[in-house]
Amino acid sequence: MSKLKCTIVGATGYTGGELLRILSFHPHAEVTQITSRSRMGEYAHAAHPNLRGVSALQFIRPEDAQPCDVVFLCLPHGEASAQIERWAGLAERIIDLSADFRLRNLAAYKRWYGHDHPAPHWVERFVYGLPELTREQLKGARYASGVGCNATATNLALLPLVKAGLIDWSLPIVADVKVGSSEGGAESSPASHHPERSGAVRSYAPAGHRHTAEVEQMIVQVRQANQVDVDNLTNFTHLHMSVTSIEMVRGVLATVHVFLKQPVQEKALWKAFRDGYKNEPFVRLVKSSAGIFRAPEPKILAGSNWADVGFALSEDGRKATLLCAIDNLMKGAAGSAVQCLNVMMGWDERAGLEFPGLHP
């Protein structure tokens, strides 16, 4: 059987490189075109030296891309939605890794991105690309959005307790997210200059991070689907996210603080997490009483599509601290995109994504 032919548009960035790495070893898909205006004519390994000897593809202009089966869009915010008609005419399926089609609510999009959506009639055609949340909708879908890496870690930390109906929605939810430098992308800036970046603990979004909108969207969607505390859903504004850059290249660690409706014992949280993730191929519950890695740790997830989740409960049983660690370039971007492709095509969800990460 011939492999599905894929094009990566905007392939010089980190997520484009990760897609090319993953799909180079995928049993059912192959990359046949990679585009870049800045590196047109150069080989893939000029931008992604780890792929020397793996891919012989050369970058072409986006305008020269030929029809294919799937297009992965790795473009700056706003470019995918501005060009969506062109890419839809080139391929039957599109997976957009930008933020252009993540939010279903157009008013929320305008609030968080500061302008009206450029292609509002396309928004409902896209399925939010987090299989743990939207697997059924992704099956057979033609269009999937990307996911925000900070939103993904926060969503996966929260999801079991939202489903279980344990959270007190009258009180705030606080998400403290720590991230690595690769979240800033492949382009250099004064903030990424080594003397400025090395050793930094930089709170670059202490309030108002755009990924907050994706978490709010998840909370409303899951509460509606599970009929959990459905009163006043449209006015849910109790989520507060802070994002801090730390001395790490890859990785996200979300530490999410929630208050519970009533005091619970730890076994209630064990049950919520086990019920929520018992059938998930890429989510692991990490909670041990001893050892270095007794809680989720992004370091050991580098290059993998795993999400490690965990929790702690306050002594009075009223406050839960929820944890999720991911690789921002994988489960937070390219890995989830390929996982979406697998679900869309009806393949084994783990295809091409079985690399376990590295230790040490």
Residue 115 sits in the same domain as residue 156: no
Residue 72 sits at the vertex; the CA angle it makes with 326 and 330, to the nearest 5 degrees, is: 10
Distance of alpha carbon 157 from alpha carbon 255, whole angstroms = 8
Residue 122 sits in the same domain as residue 159: no
Residue 245 lies in a domain: yes
Helix (H) or strand (E) holding 351: none
Residue 140 lies in a domain: no
Can you give the pLDDT at residue 19?
Answer: 98
Q: Domain of 113?
A: 4-126
Distance of alpha carbon 331 from alpha carbon 244, whole angstroms = 19
pTM: 0.96
CATH number at residue 68: 3.40.50.720
Can you give the pLDDT at residue 83?
Answer: 96
CA distances from 238 to 122, 147, 165, 257, 319 (A): 29, 21, 16, 12, 15
Residue 104 sits in the same domain as residue 178: no
Residue type, 254: A
Can you give the pLDDT at residue 35?
Answer: 98
Assess whether 149 carries a catalytic annotation. Answer: yes
Distance of alpha carbon 316 from alpha carbon 326, whole angstroms = 29
Give the end of a domain, one of 92, 110, 126.
126
Show the tokens assigned to 360: 């040490």
- CA-wise closest residue to 9 among 78, 77, 59, 69: 59
CATH number at residue 271: 3.30.360.10
Q: How many helices (H) and strands (E) would you count in the chain?
A: 12, 13
Can you give the pLDDT at residue 210?
Answer: 95
Burial class (CB in 10 A: 0-12, 13-18, 19+), 190: exposed
Can you give the pLDDT at residue 57?
Answer: 98
Phi, psi of 145 (to 5 degrees): -85, 165
Rg (CA), the chain: 20
Can you give the pLDDT at residue 188?
Answer: 85
CA distances from 336 to 57, 243, 316, 348 (A): 23, 21, 37, 14
User: Averaged in consecutive runs of 10 residues, what is the pLDDT profile of the chain (360 residues)?
Assistant: 95 98 98 97 98 98 98 96 97 98 96 96 98 98 97 98 94 96 89 89 92 95 82 70 96 98 97 98 96 96 98 98 98 98 98 96
Assess contact for 113 and 202: CB atoms under 8 A. Answer: no
- CA-wise closest residue to 13 among 258, 298, 334, 341: 334
The catalytic residue among 6, 74, 149, 340 is 149
Domain count, the chain: 2
